[in-house]
Amino acid sequence: MEHRRFVEFCDACRNFRYIGLCYGPPGIGKTLSAVRYSRADQIQPRDAWTNEVKDNRPIDTVLYTTSVVNTPSRVDIDISMAKERVRNILLDPILQEARIVLDEIRLKDEKRRRDIIDKPGCSPENPPAVDPTYFETYKHYQARQRAVSDPTTLILVDEADRLHMNSLEQMRSIFDQGTAGMVLIGMPGIEKRIARFPQFYSRIGFVHEFRPLDANQVQELLPRCWAPAGIKLPDGPLSPEVVASLIRMTGGNFRLLTRLLTQIERVLSVNDLHHVSVEVVEAARDSLVIGTN
């Protein structure tokens, strides 16, 4: 399917350190594939400075969504912060270990200091020197943190159509100064627009057209009882007539398919139905703005 082709495309851009262009019409799953590939949905921010990941697999891809208002400095800061968040995932275990070890040393030092001061003949004005173990341990963990290099090996730039000329030049600078590949994701025509910038265009190694699902792919997907996240449809495969209706109404557009299945769940729930029929699909379609099919 298209996601597998997208994965192969991104792997090539990463391995060969090229800039890649991915384009396709809206709603066919470009952003969803980028989120899954970057595993951005696995990152959980704990506070403004630290993040953690839901599993033990490494995160080495940055997903950056271009803001509507973008300047070279804004792009540079946003991508730097995104890369730092990825690096913080590697730093977090070191910080947690350092916090535990240093707290234990501090408590031991305070207890030893109190025991010495409480002895007869010891003046509170002249406490014993603090054991340097704490500071040596602190410097050890600081060195470990500095030794953690930037893990980012690929930068995915979603909504790349929004990038202005100077912001594109900033992207080129980020690519030239770093060691990561880059993928720009946008609408059809972005490849022609970027072709007008020869310095940027000369760095493009791969181009990938993200296409809508064809009828065979939808027929392969739906009989597996696939449904969008959070949507529960009746158990059992959909009938061939229902699958044909879904294909005809969505034209392989993944976003429309997701919205239509979501609406089908609502129609079933409201009418206390337990079977997806062509009539249910048509009722769900009537409440959506999905164009003429």
Lowest mean pLDDT among 17-26, 111-120, 257-266, 269-278: 111-120
Q: How far apart are CA 35 and CA 281, in angstroms?
A: 29
Q: And the tokens for 252?
A: 């392989």
Average pLDDT, the chain: 85
Grade residue 290 by pLDDT with cuts at 50, 70 and 90. Answer: low
Please write down the HEC assignment for all residues of 219-288.
Answer: HHHHHHCCCCCCCCCCCCCCCHHHHHHHHHHHCCCHHHHHHHHHHHHHHHHHCCCCCCCHHHHHHHHHCC
CA distance 255 to 277: 21
Give the C-alpha separation, 249 to 258, whole Å.
Answer: 12
User: For residues 84 and 185, which has the higher predicted lDDT (pLDDT)?
Assistant: 185
Rounded Cα gap, residues 18 and 36, in angstroms = 21
Give residue 111's Cα distance to chain centre. 47
Query: Are the C-beta atoms of residues 264 and 281 closer than 8 Å to each other?
Result: yes
| 43 confidence band (pLDDT: 50, 70, 90) | confident
- Model confidence, pTM: 0.78
Model pLDDT, residue 293: 41
138-189 pLDDT, tens digit each = 898 999 999 988 899 999 999 999 999 999 999 999 999 989 999 999 999 9
Q: What percentage of the chain reaches a pLDDT higher than 70?
A: 89
Q: 267 and 242 in contact (C-beta within 8 Å)?
A: no
Q: How many CB atoms neighbour CB 186 within 10 A?
A: 22
Contact in structure between 52 and 143 (CB atoms under 8 Å): no
Instruction: Compute the distance between CA of residue 293 and CA of residue 283 in angstroms, rounded to an integer.
Output: 15
Maximum alpha-carbon separation in the chain: 95
